[in-house]
Structures are given as C-alpha cells and as structure tokens.
Amino acid sequence: MRLFATTALIALTALPAAAQDWKSDYRIVRFGILSGENESDRIARYTPFQEYLEKTLGVEVEIFTAGNYDGVIQALAAGQIEFSFLGSSAYAAAYTETAGGVIPLLTQIQEDHSTGYFGVIVVRCDSGLKTVDDLKGKTLAFADPDSTSGYNVPYYNLVQQGYQPEEFFAAIPFSGSHEAGVAGVANGQFDAAATYINNEKNGIPQRMETKGMIKEGEVCVIWTSPEITSGPFTARANLPQGLIDEMKAAVMNVPTADPQAFKDMSGAEDSTAKGYVEVDHARYQWIIDMRDWFKAQRDS
C-alpha cells in the first residue's frame, strides 16, 4: 500500500468527467482518515478496507493521513483526496472551507440502530475527581480544534452549563488526538481529557484498553454530552457521479462483503457497529451553526 503521493491539485470547480469514464481519469482513488489515534494504528485498521476497495472498485486505492484534522480537511479542499471519513465538526469545517464542495454520503449505525455518539470527559478513576466542579483549577485537555467530540461539543456545552473553560480550568491544551489526551490522563500529564464513546462497550477508552494502551478501569467518565450526530463518509462534490456511486455502494456493502475489514475498521473486538446508512447535509447543519457560534465568540 502506498500512502499519499504528491499529485497535481484538482480544483473543486473542475467539471466532473462522464460517469462511465471515471476509471480512466481516476486510476488512483484516495480516502482520508482523521487523527483520532497514532498513525500506525490508523493505517493498520484501514488497510484491509483499502484492499477491499481495490478489489471492489478495480483501481488502486491509497490511504491519506495527516498529523491533525485540518490536514485532511485541506486535502479535500485542495482536491488531493477524493473521499474521507470525517467527524461531524470536521465535515462542517470542510463544507465551509470548500463553500459547499463536499457531500456527506453515509454514517455508521450501531446494533441498537443509533447513529450518534457522545463526547465525554475522562479522569483517572483513582484521582478522586467525580464531577466537572471537581476540575476547577485543573488541566483539561481537548483533542483537536476540529474535533466534534474532543473539543467543539464539550466546550460549547460546558459554556451553556455555566463554565467558562479559560477561567474555570488552569489550562485547556490540545493533546493532538483523542488517544494522546486519554493517555495523558492515564500517565498524569493531564487531570482530564475530552474524548468520545459510542456506548458503554465502544469508544476511545475501550479501544485503548483492548490495545493495551491503558489498563482496564484506569480512566472513568465524569461528564457526558448530549448525543452527537455521527460523522459522515464524505466525497468531493466535483467527482464523477459514477465514482461517487460505486464508492458509496462499496462502503455500504463492506459489513457483509468483507466482515473482517469492517471489524478491523471499528478497532474494537466487541464493537457494536453494524453498518452504514445514508445521510444528507441537513443532518449536520446544527454543527455548522455551532461552529458559527465559536467564530462569533472569537470575533467579538
């Protein structure tokens, strides 16, 4: 598998090729994944899916990773990748950055038919910290400025609940990724960190326990956000419709066509993910509205 290679940038305003001819224009198709965990684990989890796509689409497929969320967003905006798995806030950022030049296609659905997840704040279980009030004067690490669950939703909701993060906490650094924040809590670097869970069985802390990155029962959740709309698998809007349709079908079918690849993507042995459902832009408008609130705070 080759990772991202430099190519000529494709402007988002370019006219799409005829749907039936897309393979002659897109001999390599690239999809991006966000920096929720370290790069080697991200690549390992998605390599079986990449191989499945190559067999299904009949073209070479490459994985694109970046050191932060914005790297993937900018790659979409610059036409350097065709598709990406995005969080809700990252999709909103990409939509804004491209002036509507991206299309949400699918989002993951769980066994209980839910299509959302939750931002959480975690602490060491032995820290004696039980509530947000206990974090006054402590360090809370957010994941990334473009992370829905790791920054935007917890920050926004903490403000709505009467907390002013810059004043209430001693420091609110960005850890760079969900895993780095949780690991920082486990090793004492941070008092608390924002991350996400899908449910009690699946999420970043559970995945890290499975991988042996933290001990079972080492970190505990002390705050949970309202449900967040799961992020979409996203396409550039200027791609040939044939390519979009074939990729969308391939992703939709992976749970049954290649169950192991789908399982590996989830990153947890007891994942409750069952497949994908179609989504549209309207589902994410509230995330854009929330980001507009952030912008208004910065500009005021």
pLDDT digits (tens, 9 = 90+) for 140-192: 999 999 899 999 999 999 999 999 999 999 999 999 999 999 999 999 999 99
d(CA 190, CA 175): 9
Regarding whether 288 and 244 lie in a shared domain, the answer is yes
Token pair recorded at residue 211: 């991988």
Predicted pLDDT at 36: 67
Residue 1 covered by a domain: no
Residue 14 covered by a domain: no
> Total domain count for the chain?
2
The structure's pTM equals: 0.78
pLDDT over 60 at 6, yes or no: no
Regarding whether 105 and 129 lie in a shared domain, the answer is no
Regarding whether 132 and 221 lie in a shared domain, the answer is yes
Of the listed ranges 58-62, 100-104, 248-252, 263-267, the least confidently predicted one is: 263-267
Predicted pLDDT at 299: 87
Q: Which of 172, 199, 229 is the last residue of a domain?
A: 229
Predicted pLDDT at 120: 98
Regarding whether 262 and 129 lie in a shared domain, the answer is no
Q: Could you tell me what percentage of the chain is helix, strand and coil, using 3-state DSSP and rounding each to the nearest 5?
A: 40, 20, 35
Regarding whether 168 and 93 lie in a shared domain, the answer is no
CATH number of the domain residue 28 falls in? 3.40.190.10
Residue 72 covered by a domain: yes
Predicted pLDDT at 298: 86
Q: What is the 3-state secondary structure (H, E, C) of 104-145?
A: EEEEEEECCCCCEEEEEEEEECCCCCCCHHHHCCCEEEECCC
Contact 192, 131 (CB under 8 A): no
Predicted pLDDT at 268: 65
Residue 13 covered by a domain: no
Predicted pLDDT at 197: 95
Regarding whether 136 and 107 lie in a shared domain, the answer is no
Average pLDDT value over all residues in the chain: 90
Contact 227, 118 (CB under 8 A): yes
Residue 104 φ/ψ, nearest 5 degrees: -75, 135
Regarding whether 123 and 109 lie in a shared domain, the answer is no
Helix axes 153-160, 285-299, angle to 10 degrees: 70
Regarding whether 104 and 239 lie in a shared domain, the answer is yes
Helix axes 39-57, 259-266, angle to 10 degrees: 160
Q: Which of 211, 229, 247 is the last residue of a domain?
A: 229
Predicted pLDDT at 20: 55
Token pair recorded at residue 87: 């969080």
Query: Kind of pairing, strands 116-124 and 83-85?
Result: unpaired
Q: Which of 184, 201, 229 is the last residue of a domain?
A: 229
Q: Which residues span the domain enclosing 137?
A: 117-229
